[in-house]
Structure 1
Amino acid sequence: MYRLSSLILLLLGCFPLLAQSPHGDDLDMDCVKCHHPGGWYINYQTIQFDHSKTDFQLEGTHANVDCKLCHSTMVFDQAPMDCASCHADIHSQSVGNDCVRCHTSETWLVDIIPELHEANGFPLIGVHSNLSCIECHNTDSSNLRIDPLGNECINCHQDDYAATQNPNHQQAGFSTDCVECHNPLGFGWDSESINHDFFPLTEGHDIQDCAQCHTTGNYSDASPECVTCHQEDYTGTMDPNHATSGFSTDCVACHTTSPGWMPAIINHDFFPLTQGHNIQDCTECHTTDNYSDASPECVACHQTDYDQTNNPNHLAANFPTDCVACHTTNPGWTPAEFDHDQYFPIYTGKHRQGETWNDCVECHANPSNYADFTCFTCHLQPEMDDKHSEENGYEYLSSACLECHPDGD
C-alpha cells in the first residue's frame, strides 16, 4: 500500500511533464494545490487556488457557489463573466442584462431605487417617492417585467391631463409639461406656481380668480390687449374723458399696473414738457375734451402773450408767432435769442455787435415796429451821396441800401 501511494505521488508530480492539463494551457499551478493525492477529488477546505487573483472575484453569495455551476468545462478561463450567462433574465430584457446596475452579489433585493431614477433623469421626489413601481411601469403578471418610461410628465399623466375640468387643460391649450404649473415636490395637483411671465401678474393684475380675465373657459384665447378687460374703465373715464379725448386704448402707454390707475405718466415726448411747459393741469393746453386735437404751434397757447408784448411789441414789429425762433421754454420768456443774421448780418461782418452798435434802437428807430429800420444813424449825407455819385438810379433810402447791400458789404 505504501508503494502504491508513492507511485501515485510520483505520477502526479510527473503529470505536467508527461500530459497536457485538462484545464487549459493558461492554468500554471501544481495539481496538489487543489487535488488530493488519494484521487482527483477536491478538498475545498485545503484548496489553495486564489480566485481573487482572477478577473472575477468571488464576493457575497458567489463565494459559496459550487465551481461547476459556473465552470461547465474543465478549461476554467472559458467560464463567462457576464451576469446573463449564469442568471436567467426574469425581467424579459426590459431593463438590460447588466445585473450589477441594480443588484449586488449579496442579494437580489434592490435598495438603490431612488438613486437609479435620479441617474436616469427622473428623481423620485414628492408624491413620486411613495409610489409602487407597478403604478408607473407596465409589468407582466409576475411584476418582474419593468418597461422603461419617458421622463416627460405626460408619459404617465395623459389621462389626468385629459380629465381636467377646472380649467379644462386640453381645451385651454395648456402645456403638457406639468411642472410648468405644478410643484413636483408637492403631494397633489394644487398649483401656486403658474409661470405667467408672458403677461406678468403684478400689483393690480395679481388676482387669484383666473376667470376674471379668462372668461371663455379657454385659457389660450385671452387677449393680452388692455382694452379687452378694461373697455368699461376706458369709456367710464371723466378726468379726462379718454374716449372723447381720443386717448389710446393701450393703457400701458400712461398707466402701470398699480391699483387705482395711479400714478399715470403720459409719454409726452412728441411735445416735451420742459421748464415752463412742465405744468400739472392738462387743461391749460388741452382746452377741449379732445386731447388729440391740441395744436403744437406756440401761438395756439401763447397768442395773448404775443399780443401783449411791449419790449419790443411783437405784433407791431411783425415778429413771427413761432416762439421757438427766439425763446426757449424758460419761464418768463428769457433769455431770448433772435437770429438776426438770417435777415441782415449784425453779429458777423462789418455790422458786428459791439463794434458798430449796441442797442436795437440804433437801427430800429421805431420801437413799435421792428419791421422798420434805418441805415442813416450811421450812414449820413452827403457822404453817402458822394460815394454813390456814379451809381445810376441812386436814392438815399434805407430800403435801397438793403436792396444793394443785403450782406452789409
Structure 2
Amino acid sequence: MYKSISIFFLLGLCSTLFSQSPHGAGFKLDCASCHSPEGWEIAAQSWDSGELVVPENKNTATAESPAFSHAKTDFPLTGQHASTDCRSCHETLIFAEAKSECISCHNDMHQMTVGGDCARCHSSENWLVDEITELHRDNGFPLLGNHAAAACTDCHFSETRLRFDRIGNDCTNCHLEDFMATSSPDHQAAGYSTECTDCHDLAGPSWLFTPGAANHTFFPLTKGHEISDCNACHTNGTFSGTPTDCFACHETDFRASTAPDHEAGGFPTDCTVCHTTDPGWSPAGFAQHDDFFPLTEGHQINDCSACHAGGVFENTPTDCFACHETDFQNTNDPDHEAAGFPTDCNLCHTTEPGWDAGDFKQHDDLYFPIFSGKHKNEWNECNECHTMPGDFMSFSCIDCHEHDDANDLADEHDDVSGYSYSSQACYTCHPKGEE
C-alpha cells in the first residue's frame, strides 16, 4: 500500500513539474495563445508589422483585445529593435530576465566616458548622433564659431577615437599651447589673462582680437578707437603702463594740424576739449567757448576762422563792433552812422540771425520813455516820432493827433512864460513825458 502511495506522489510531482511554463513562474499567458499542436513556432499572424501581439485565445480574441503586446511593456520595440530576433535579447526562455538597459545588450564603445545611457545620444534607428550641438550646450560648452566645425577628435583625444573623456570647459584645457606660443602680442610677457574670452569672441571665426569682446572698460574701444591691431597703441609689445591721455598717442596729429594751427592757436593738448572719439576728428566742438563767448543763434558757426582771422585765437575781441563794423557802416535802413546810433549792437539787436531789430528798451533811459509812462503803447513805428527819414536825432512831438492843434495847446499853456509850439520846447519842459 505504501508503495502505491509513493508511486502516485511521484507521478503527481512529475506532472506538476512538467506542467510549469518554461518562461518562468510569473508568465501567466496560456500556451495556446502563442503556440499550436503543430509545434512551438509562433504563428505568423501573431506578428503585426514587427510588433508581437498575441491574444488570450486565438479562436475568440480580436485585434482590439490582445492579451500581450510588447508595446505595453517597459521596452517598446521601435526602430532596429522591431526587426531583431527575440533571442538576441532574450537569451533564456524566461523573458523577465532580459534587461532594458542599453549596455546590457550593446558593448560600450565609449568605455563609460559618456555614461551608460545610450539614448542620450543615439536612437533605436541607428548609431548616428544628430544632436551634438545640443548635447554640448547642455553640458556647459556650446559649440560656437570654429568649435562648431571642429571634429570631435580635435578636442577628445584617445587611443580608440571613441573615448570622450571630459576635458573641462576652460579655454586653457585645449588652448594653453596656443596661449604660450603667441608672440604678437606676447601673451605671457604682457601678463594676459588665460581666459581667452576676455579678448576673443567665442563665436568668432578666428583668433582675431574682438574689441566688443575685450574687457577694455578702463579705456572704451569705441568709434575712432575701435581698432583690431593692439600694436597701434601698445608699441613694442608693452601693455602695462600705457598712457590714456590723448596727447600721448596723438601728439603728431596735434602738431600737424593746420586748419586751424593748434600750436599757433595755443590750443589745449586735451583733445576731448574740442573732439569726440568719432573717426576723422570731426565734428569738432568747443563747448567751453560758451563760458566766455556763447556760440548760440547767429554766432553758432562751424568755421573758427570767421572770427579768428589768420589762425589767431588769443585776445580776440568780444565786443560786437570789432566783428560787425562793416555791417554797422553799411546799414541804411536806418542809416546807423547818420543817425548816430551806438556801436553796441546788443542795445537794439539780439544774437538771432538776420539782425532783426529788438525793442531797444534802452530808449527810455537814454532818450525818452516810450516803453513806459504815458507814451507806452501809443506808437507802432519809429517814424511816427522820427519823421525825418534816416534822421533819428530829430523828432517831432506835435505831429501826433493829440498835439496837432496849436491853438488848443496854447490855451493849455497860457500860464507858461515863454511857451513855444515846437518839439524841442516840448522836450525841454517834458523830458520824461510827464504832465
User: Into which bin does the TM-score normalised by the smaller protein fall?
Assistant: 0.5 to 0.7
> One-letter code of the match for 1:176?
C
Q: 1:235 aligns with which of 238, 255, 260?
A: 255
SS at match of 1:243: coil
Contact 1:213-1:229 at 8 Å conserved across structures: yes
**1:54 CA drift (Å):** 4.0
2:25 corresponds in structure 1 to 23
Contact 2:35-2:41 at 8 Å conserved across structures: no
- Distance 1:80-1:385 versus aligned 2 partners, 3 A rule: farther
1:250 corresponds in structure 2 to 271
Q: 1:63 aligns with which of 73, 86, 101?
A: 86
SS at match of 1:97: coil
- Distance 1:29-1:387 versus aligned 2 partners, 3 A rule: farther
Is structure 2 residue 116 aligned with structure 1 residue 111?
Answer: no
Contact 1:137-1:146 at 8 Å conserved across structures: yes
1:83 corresponds in structure 2 to 102
- Distance 1:220-1:359 versus aligned 2 partners, 3 A rule: farther
Name stretches of at least 5 consecutive residues in structure 2 with no aligned partner.
1-10, 47-51, 54-68, 215-219, 418-424
Q: Deviations over 1:251-300 (max 9, x none)?
A: 79458534xx6x765568844476698695x4452247542543443133
Q: Deviations over 1:85-113 (max 9, x none)?
A: 56676656432221123345587xx432x
Contact 2:264-2:311 at 8 Å conserved across structures: yes
SS at match of 2:237: coil
* Identity percentage of aligned residues: 26
Is structure 2 residue 235 aligned with structure 1 residue 215?
Answer: yes
Q: Deviations over 1:362-392 (max 9, x none)?
A: 6x9995758xx8868859666246499xxxx
Report the number of matched residues.
Answer: 360
Q: Provide the alpha-carbon RMSD of the alignment.
A: 5.5
2:62 corresponds in structure 1 to none
Higher relative contact order (CA 8 A, sep 6+): 1
> One-letter code of the match for 2:386?
V
1:98 corresponds in structure 2 to 117
Q: Structure 2: how far apart are the matches of 1:365 and 1:128?
A: 88
Is structure 2 residue 342 aligned with structure 1 residue 319?
Answer: yes
2:61 corresponds in structure 1 to none
**1:151 CA drift (Å):** 5.2
What TM-score do the two structures reach when normalised by structure 1? 0.61
1:291 corresponds in structure 2 to 313
2:361 corresponds in structure 1 to 339
**1:247 CA drift (Å):** 3.0
Q: Structure 2: how far apart are the matches of 1:279 and 1:32?
A: 104
Contact 1:244-1:289 at 8 Å conserved across structures: yes
**1:176 CA drift (Å):** 1.0
- Distance 1:199-1:29 versus aligned 2 partners, 3 A rule: same
What TM-score do the two structures reach when normalised by structure 2? 0.58
Contact 1:94-1:145 at 8 Å conserved across structures: yes
Contact 1:167-1:217 at 8 Å conserved across structures: yes
Contact 1:313-1:367 at 8 Å conserved across structures: no
1:156 corresponds in structure 2 to 174
1:4 corresponds in structure 2 to none
Q: 1:137 aligns with which of 150, 156, 176?
A: 156
> One-letter code of the match for 1:94?
T
Contact 2:307-2:323 at 8 Å conserved across structures: yes
2:421 corresponds in structure 1 to none
1:401 corresponds in structure 2 to 430
Q: Structure 2: how far apart are the matches of 1:23 and 1:151?
A: 52
Q: Structure 1: how far apart are the matches of 2:344 and 2:144?
A: 79
Is structure 2 residue 386 aligned with structure 1 residue 361?
Answer: yes
Q: Deviations over 1:139-198 (max 9, x none)?
A: 5x766652234556444223312331111245274761289458765xxx5648665895
Contact 2:349-2:356 at 8 Å conserved across structures: no
Is structure 2 residue 407 aligned with structure 1 residue 383?
Answer: no
**1:46 CA drift (Å):** 6.3
Q: Structure 2: how far apart are the matches of 1:130 and 1:146?
A: 14
Contact 1:235-1:242 at 8 Å conserved across structures: yes
Q: Deviations over 1:43-71 (max 9, x none)?
A: 466697746344224516563426246x8
Contact 1:172-1:217 at 8 Å conserved across structures: no
Q: Which moves more between the two structures, 53-62 or 163-172?
A: 53-62
Q: Deviations over 1:319-363 (max 9, x none)?
A: 3614363365656x565653367545536774245489844436x
